[in-house]
């Protein structure tokens, strides 16, 4: 069984709730080859589905996409997640973001590429900044 919930709050309190949830064990009943019921215990699995906003200069979009090993153009969604494609499109619309462009080939300019061990990253979209003027200089308003 999978239950999807949203949580919001002070980080240390959220972390405590997660630790408390991970400490929970439940009975799970299996059947052996002869059909006899066998009782075991299983730990509650907490699998975060987190949304992050990464902020950087516009000219670095391709570099950041390469660092995260994104392909762009919705190609990051695995075949098993095709039903989620509509969900990701809805998130993009909600955020006011545009679909990511296809990543261009080129070197990873970031010295320490992000480790993707045991992590799936799906590129949802991007949103351009408006310019701001500060101290007589006009900048991209990160």
Q: pLDDT, tens digit, for every residue of 51-61?
A: 888 889 888 88
* Nearest-angstrom CA–CA distance, 107 and 89: 29
Q: What is the pTM (predicted TM-score) of this model? A: 0.66
Q: pLDDT, tens digit, for every residue of 98-131?
A: 988 988 887 766 655 556 676 777 888 999 988 8
Q: Which of 80, 86, 78, 91 is nearest to 6 (CA)?
A: 91
């Amino acid at each position: 069984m999978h239950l999807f919930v949203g949580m919001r709050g002070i980080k240390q309190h959220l972390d405590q709730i997660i630790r408390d949830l991970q400490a929970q064990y439940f009975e799970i009943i299996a059947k052996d080859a002869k059909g006899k019921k066998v009782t075991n215990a299983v730990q509650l699995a907490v699998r975060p589905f987190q949304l992050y906003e990464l902020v950087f200069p516009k000219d670095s979009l391709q570099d950041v996409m390469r660092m995260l090993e994104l392909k762009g153009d919705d190609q990051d969604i695995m075949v098993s997640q095709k039903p989620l494609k509509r969900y990701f499109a809805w998130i993009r619309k909600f955020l006011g973001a545009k679909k990511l462009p296809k990543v261009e080939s080129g070197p990873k300019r970031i010295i320490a590429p992000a480790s993707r061990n045991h992590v799936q990253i799906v590129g949802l979209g991007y949103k351009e900044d408006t310019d701001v003027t500060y101290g007589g200089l006009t900048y991209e308003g990160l």
